[in-house]
Amino acid sequence: MSENFDLIAVSPHPDDAEIGCGGTLALLSEMGYRIAIVDLTNGEPTPFNDDPQVRLNEASKAAKILGIERVTLDLPNRKLLDSIEARMILAKELRRMRPKIVIGMQGMTPRASPDHYQSQLIFDAAVFYSRLSKWEDIFDGLEPWRIENVFYYYTARELLTQSQPLQFTVDISTHFETKKSALLAYKSQFRAHPSYNPPIIDWIEGMGRYFGSLTGCKYAEIFYGSNIMTMNLFKHILD
């Protein structure tokens, strides 16, 4: 059973994709595109949440707020490692969901979870495995799916040691409040213990305003990729 998605954002944990590109996902969803987040793990355990189901419910609520679909895979939180098995699991989802565009989380996050960087390694390999021929037998008969449009979102926790010449922003001014609401759906992560957690809204505001200032709008999200960029790239690819 194959499906056809316009865009999939791959997230190591439920909330990373919302932080990096939640506004863009909400914007594209409102334009009528079929969008999903694929979480590699359920993100649990975390310090202040005792029930993984609570986080899953929050993730589902956040997806609803953004107007998108969501798939949560069963790879292990905190112990996520790039492996053949993990690559295959994500590649199988890509073959099943057949997205035109994929966006992953890029880079190392030394002060946050090591899962983040592993997720990029898994993501890059899975995009490649998705298109390989003569592997239908190990993908339950799912045909190869080639994805030409591969991008990365940024959450302001990544090291920026490498130059990022190919980048563009998406104006999310009209959808910033939606993004904020989606993140506040994660009460177990961002609301339960404000003294411990970084103040999420300050962080999201600052990041959005900074990227917005680079292109003269109020709030923006930044993306990296390997194609020549235009401001309307996503729409251009999908139309």
Q: Which residues bind Zn ion (CB under 5 A)?
A: 12-13, 16, 113
Closer residue to Zn ion in complex, CB, 75/233 = 75
Least separation in angstroms between CB 222 and Zn ion: 18
Token readout for 226 is 């390997």
Residue number, nearest CB to Zn ion: 13
Closer residue to Zn ion in complex, CB, 110/227 = 110
Least separation in angstroms between CB 79 and Zn ion: 13
Closer residue to Zn ion in complex, CB, 142/184 = 184
The residue written with tokens 């997205």 in the block is 99
Euclidean distance between the first and the last CA atom of the chain, given in angstroms as a whole number: 24
* Signed CA dihedral, 188, 189, 194, 196: sign only: positive
Closer residue to Zn ion in complex, CB, 16/93 = 16
Least separation in angstroms between CB 13 and Zn ion: 4
Least separation in angstroms between CB 185 and Zn ion: 15
